[in-house]
Structure 1
């Protein structure tokens, strides 16, 4: 692929990402950073320390702390003491937090599904699915060993 083609493809991927972000349903009192934290905890499948969240999401510890305070006030996460070190805590998703994630995903998926149905032919839809698989493979290839960072998927 030529450089200008790679640039064009990257630009289109960014445009689609921004459009999906704009279509994301707003959740009262939950910032986009807080949503990222909710999804990261869910995708981990286990409780995480705030520092792990900061590293995974490439956020500052102070931003994670602020988002966690907001999520705790909304009863979307709970912090539980680390049994091995009482000075540290683990962050767990609550059922209400899981409900928020499900609501956001339904909104995102509905918009994208409708946009695809309204815009693309059946053949183009199959081609788009194949392109999605290729992008997944590129993402897996691009991550250096030991640093396979997975951003939250809404």
Structure 2
């Protein structure tokens, strides 16, 4: 791999911040996934899928919208939705308003699972993320998350 001579490398402060972010992106999902697996038999992504459906009107979303809400690709969602469907936690059907789309609906069993998982998950998020922060740091974290997310989304847009 050839490196450009005019490459702008991270300065020491940026490098230190980046290493912390990478560590956080690795450690936090692992911790949350472990808690959900132990307490509810769900992966973190499965929880996000069920949670998004639980908050949707009629507990139903188009698969494309659900992928965005769960922060995953449509391909990943399709595999996970198949597993959740086999467990009776969601049902898929063609969208009557758009034959090219598929609707996912949270079943009553899925509602029971996600509503049972939510208290433990929220407690873990509070303990791991918000308890160590001041209210000002929480606000700053939200602002930083928004800025970085917008930058990533702009990079993905044509």
TM-score of the aligned structures, taking structure 1 as reference length: 0.63
The question of 1:95 aligning with 2:73 is answered no
The count of corresponding residues between Structure 1 and Structure 2 is 138
User: How far apart are the structure 2 equivalents of 1:114 and 1:106?
Assistant: 12
* 1:58 aligned residue: 72
Q: Give secondary structure in 2 for the equivalent of 1:143.
A: helix
Q: Give secondary structure in 2 for the equivalent of 1:75.
A: coil
* 2:4 aligned residue: none
TM-score of the aligned structures, taking structure 2 as reference length: 0.61
Gaps of 5+ in 1: 117-123, 149-154
**Aligned runs of 1:1-154 on 2, under 5 Å?**
2-11=13-22, 13-14=24-25, 15-26=27-38, 27-28=40-41, 30-45=42-57, 47-56=60-69, 57-61=71-75, 63-86=76-99, 88-111=101-124, 125=131, 127-144=133-150, 147=153
User: How far apart are the structure 2 equivalents of 1:95 and 1:70?
Assistant: 16
* 1:152 aligned residue: none
TM superposition shift of 1:134:
1.5
TM superposition shift of 1:86:
4.1
Aligned partners of 1:25 and 1:104 also within 8 Å: no
- Higher Cα radius of gyration: 2
Gaps of 5+ in 2: 1-11
- RMSD over aligned CA atoms reads 3.6
Seen in structure 2, the aligned counterparts of structure 1 residues 32 and 140 have a Cα distance that, compared at 3 Å, is closer
Aligned partners of 1:76 and 1:97 also within 8 Å: yes
TM superposition shift of 1:69:
2.4
Q: Give secondary structure in 1 for the equivalent of 2:66.
A: helix
User: How far apart are the structure 2 equivalents of 1:11 and 1:65?
Assistant: 27
* 1:151 aligned residue: none
User: How far apart are the structure 2 equivalents of 1:67 and 1:3?
Assistant: 36
* 2:5 aligned residue: none
